[in-house]
Amino acid sequence: MNQNIRTTQGRHWRTGDWIEIRYDDRHILSTKTIPPNAAIQSWLAPGLIDLQINGYGGIDFQQDEVSESDFIQATEALLRDGCPRFFLTLITSPWSDMIQHLKRFKSIRDSNPRLKESCVGWHIEGPFLSEEPGYCGAHPPACMENPTLEHIRTLRSAVGNDPVLLTLAPERPGSVEAIEEARKLGIQVSLGHTNADNKALQSAAKAGATGFTHLGNACPQQLDRHDNLLFRAIDKGPWMTGIIPDRIHVSPTLFRLLHRLIPRDHIYYTTDAMSAAGVAPGRYTIGQMELEVGEDQIVRQPGKTNFAGSALRPSQGIARAADMLNISWRDVWEHFSETPARWMQLPTSLAPGSPSRFCRIDEHANKELTIQVVEP
């Protein structure tokens, strides 16, 4: 008999029913409705999943020598902040270096069961991005290049059958063929760091691109009022659209507008977190770039105004999204759990067979939330 079988009770995040969940080390075994109990105030919900983690808890995944203990430190910090699953994200650097880092991370993760449960996929954001100022963001233009079929095949070979998300700019030569090859190999393709025109967006969609990475970010502060990337992206959608819910990268007004214009089931949230997320303000790195993070959680290059990653915690993202939309956290939870998981074809729910790392949520009078990952 499995001695690690446990049960917990709470209210179902979507229905409001009181439920009891029975689970073991890996999966939910059963979920049943129980009689209402006013003494049970906590809510139970599927675990959060963040598709874009560049680093966390003081650890920069872009560095050459991230150790297993560093990897664990970042993972444990994410767990503490309510996020049991994530995609480790590598940003633009020389392609051979990116592949080498990716293989090394995969080797570390595959040898550690706890890491394997948490790091469930890989997000490759670059080097096939726009070099235009404003659109390149914190990515070094000197390392950017055009995608080829060989790039895509090398990427798939490096990670085996693991889920992969690739962000690219579809205006780069070779992008259509690269997208088609990626889809054949089971790689999801998202557009981002791009100033693609309507034709390029249409061609990318026809080739199989389905997502848009952190829309509202990775574009200049000032945009043409008649024709700009935001208008084009929304017009040529619906994409599975990532949004950073921190009130910084996307203003509350634009955040609300995006939720009105994009179908509900096509919005997912991400922190786009870098090493400063989950730790105190100070100076941190993302790759070769030193960044400064103030009390306001804004990540900038010292002396500059452009943003460079995020210090947002997943638990904060839920609370801030609900506040910007003036709705309950229960109405935004799916954007940070079920929606991205469905896109990446990963199981997530409170049904039998789903991962046993689900979340317990407690509401406080000031609208603050305590989000705790239930550990087997």
Query: Which residues have a catalytic role annotated?
Result: 272
Q: Which residues contact 231 (CB under 8 A, 6 or more apart)?
A: none
Q: How far apart are CA 46 and CA 23, in angstroms?
A: 13
Strand partners, 76: none
Residue 56: strand pairing partners: 59
Task: Reply yes or no: is the peptide bond before residue 352 cis, omega within 30 of 0.
Answer: no
Q: Give residue for tokens 């962000």.
A: 167
- Written as six digits, the tokens of 78 are 């994410």
Tokens of 354: 């789903």
The residue to which tokens 């070769």 are assigned:
288
Residue in 141, 266, 129 with CA at minimum distance from that of residue 195: 129
With H, G, I as helix, E, B as strand and everything else as coil, classify residue 184. helix
Decide: helix, strand or coil at residue 230: helix
Considering Cα of 51, then 54, then 59, then 62, what sign does the dihedral take? positive
Backbone angles phi, psi at 223, to 5 degrees: -125, 150
Q: How many CB atoms lie within 10 A of CB 242?
A: 27
Token pair for 367: 């609208």
Taking each helix axis as running N to C, give the angle between helix 252-261 and helix 314-325, from 0 to 180 degrees, rounded to the nearest 10. Answer: 80
